[in-house]
Amino acid sequence: MGRRGRALLVAGAVLVAAGAGTLLLIGRAVVRRDRAREAEVETRWQAQVESVASARASRPARTSGESLRARAALYGARVSDSLDDGARETLRSGTDLPAFRGLLQQHPWLLEDAIALSRLPAWVTVADDATAGADPFDRFQGVSEGLDHVRTAGRVLDQAAMLALHDGHPEIALQRIMDGLDLVRAIMTAPTIAQIMHATALEQAILARVEEFLPRIPAVARGPGRPAIERLRAHLDATIPHRDLVEALVGEGELGLGMIESMESMTGSALGWMADLVPGLGFSARQERIAYLHAMAGLISEATRPFPQQAWPAGAPPGRRGAADMLIPAVGTLAGRSALAARHRAVLDLSIASLLGEVPPTMPADPLTGAPLRVERDDAALRIILSGATIDETLLTCPLDGRP
């Protein structure tokens, strides 16, 4: 090789070294930027976790007795073993009162056990925590199992209330309504997303029964049923959607972090340092953790806002299909359902207050839209009206049959 060739080789080596140095500098800058973003996301996440932990600490400690989840599984097994397809369809439909009456006469334990379920204070207890296991997915499955069974018990209580109203026993109907709402309360202790979905659906069914019960309120309030009405109003006045959804999202976030750590241990860390620098080369627990926490923190921040101010994306961001991103449509839908349930509670509470002559001096706002509610009443009916920008909407009509 001549002098010119050696000079070209030296020049090439210098260029390669310079290029490698430039790439190294760029890589270090990217790492510094990612580390700063990671610290910001971690700080935001820890603040959200601590906020939920503080709220949990203010509640009564979990009991060590039997949980609603454990008893619900036994109830579901008995329903499966004792009822044929026709009987289970009667429970599912909720429209055939004569068939339901016959079902209770043949299987009185259906209602007795459902009432016993409503007396249990919590969905899971300390004992459930101790036996759930260390694996995060197993723990999540253990907490969620049995929700379908407790929904069956809720349908039994709902139809029992309907039957009591039909038979002219409003006090009994009110007690079954409160049993159903107690089930909702127990499901919502330390909730997951699945628990909120089931509890919201059950609550909406029970609240529809409250709406049917409204015309009997004045008569029941004049008798021994007044304390039960006050318990009902205490439930209707509870403002749970924001707190419970945020707590559930933090729980989902903790679950997801545990699964990321499990995946890291399964895939190994041989290429971890390269995956951190070159996205797509392999599994990077650090990159996945940053992306996951960033998405979860965004969901939680949105859930803390009053529903009229929430702006949920239509779907996951382009190029992202992580577990947290896939939650976006579901959480937005669930937030809407929770707001609808909050509206229903507010409307019913205002209706009961009006029927009892206790209309508040300041009308509440609609939790779904933020617009004011108002009461209109004549000899025929009581109406709850939503004041709109261009047109008013009647949210509830309670017939009065000329009663004051």
> Distance between alpha carbon 103 and the CA centroid of its chain, in Å?
32
Give a yes or no: residue 55 inside a domain.
Answer: no
Q: What rounded mean pLDDT belongs to the chain?
A: 76
Does a structural domain hold residue 60? Answer: no
DSSP codes of every residue in 69-86: HHHHHHHHHHHHHH--HH
Residue 107 one-letter amino acid: H
The answer to whether residue 285 is domain-embedded is yes
Task: Based on the fold, state whether residues 39 and 76 are members of the same structural domain.
Answer: no
How far apart are the C-alpha atoms of 19 and 370, rounded to whole Å?
Answer: 59
Same domain, 204 and 251: no
Which of 199, 224, 249 is the last residue before a domain boundary?
Answer: 224
- Arithmetic mean of pLDDT, 36-64: 68
d(CA 217, CA 239) in angstroms, rounded, equals: 23
Determine whether 17 is exposed, middle or buried from the number of CB atoms within 10 Å of its CB (0-12, 13-18, 19+). Answer: exposed
In a domain, 169, yes or no: yes
Give yes or no: residues 246 and 194 share one domain: no
Q: How far apart are the C-alpha atoms of 183 and 201, rounded to whole Å? A: 12
Q: Which domain holds residue 244?
A: 21-48+237-370
Same domain, 72 and 216: yes
Identify the band that residue 271 occupies on the pLDDT scale cut at 50, 70 and 90.
very low
Integer Rg of the chain from CA: 28
Whole-model pTM: value is: 0.76
220 and 108 housed in the same domain:
yes
H helical segments located in 188-240: 193-213, 217-221, 226-236
* Same domain membership, residue 74 and residue 207: yes
pLDDT beyond 90 at 316: no
Domain shared by 276 and 344, yes or no: yes
Residues 300 and 248: their CA atoms lie apart, in Å, by 9
Give the pLDDT score at 320: 53
> Does one domain contain both 215 and 244?
no
Interval 328-372: pLDDT, tens: 667 777 777 888 888 899 999 999 999 998 888 888 888 888 888
Residue after which a domain boundary falls, among 224, 245, 272? 224
pLDDT of 208 above 80:
yes
The whole-number pLDDT of residue 23 equals 47
CB count within 10 Å of CB 84 equals 7
In a domain? residue 330: yes
Nearest to 220 by CA among 263, 156, 270, 177: 177
Same domain, 160 and 250: no
Cα distance between the two ends of the chain: 112
324 and 209 in a common domain: no
What confidence score (pLDDT) does residue 140 get?
53
Provide the number of structural domains found in the chain: 2
User: Where is the domain boundary, 176, 194, 224?
Assistant: 224
pLDDT score of 91 more than 60: yes
> Is 206 within 8 Å of 198 (Cβ atoms)?
no
Backbone CA torsion sign across 195, 72, 185, 253: negative
Q: Would residue 152 count as lying in a domain?
A: yes
Query: For residue 101, is pLDDT > 90?
Result: yes
Contact 91, 152 (CB under 8 A): yes
Domain-embedded: residue 344: yes
Q: Name the amino acid, one letter, at 234.
A: A
pLDDT over 70 at 75, yes or no = yes
Same domain assignment for residues 205 and 267 = no
Please check whether residues 150 and 204 belong to one and the same domain.
yes
> Best-predicted range by mean pLDDT among 186-200, 297-311, 312-326, 367-381?
367-381
Would residue 361 count as lying in a domain? yes
